[in-house]
Structure 1
């Protein structure tokens, strides 16, 4: 089994370790310039979660032109539905990535969710905010024996509606 950690996960580990080092400091400068004691926090080991169980079994990539979602509405991201047949035994992992661009210069905010067989996955909703740069969100799930359908849903959270330009969905499956 391949036990390599994706570059993004390694980056998160570095940030977690850096953050832990900052939190472990025992003094800080008070408002009057003196030293103020901070409570000591026990060092915690950074947890790295890799959405990989081994080798890639399959990868699907879909890109659309644009999609608009009305103010306060929730809609399936076009092209995001995929049906997969699970392994004969055990489980496989599936990594779902959504990225899009808003080129109108205004920041837009949405909430993305991954649904498996009509039920939201344990990761829940994730913020998907963007302006003139691409936004990306990832979900990690498992599949077991049988047929499973995944879909990404996007909800407008800014109250003005949102438009995703070039939304791209990538499904990567590992065994």
Structure 2
């Protein structure tokens, strides 16, 4: 609830505040959500975390079409805010846009006027993540090394700032 409360106070396009949330911590519903998510597409030989390493909770971010049909970037702002708040609490997380929306709506009994936008998975971190500078080949694909460290290439700061006056 505290993480959703952080998101509730975020900026919202035209201040319409069209987002709704489902908070899930129960094992059965967690499994129902887990089965709807596309995990780490660049890691072809990994189908997602094993049962013992799976998230302990999820926050499903929904757009409410009764309020607006344009959610702007509100769901991205909300998800990032939730993830930053989670880090302060010692949690790790990941946001998912690769979602089987039809199955998720069925599994959670979500009505027609609510549109799943993102799912945020939360739990105690079990893997080491390392941010790497993007190589000269420009490959943005994340990968795991022989020590199971998850490497995430990021563009160089000088490459993304195109002007400074």
Q: Would you say same fold, with TM above 0.5?
A: no
Higher relative contact order (CA 8 A, sep 6+): 1
Q: Which has the larger radius of gyration?
A: 1
What is the TM-score with the length of structure 1 in the denominator?
0.24
Higher helix share: 2
Higher strand share: 1
What is the TM-score with the length of structure 2 in the denominator?
0.25
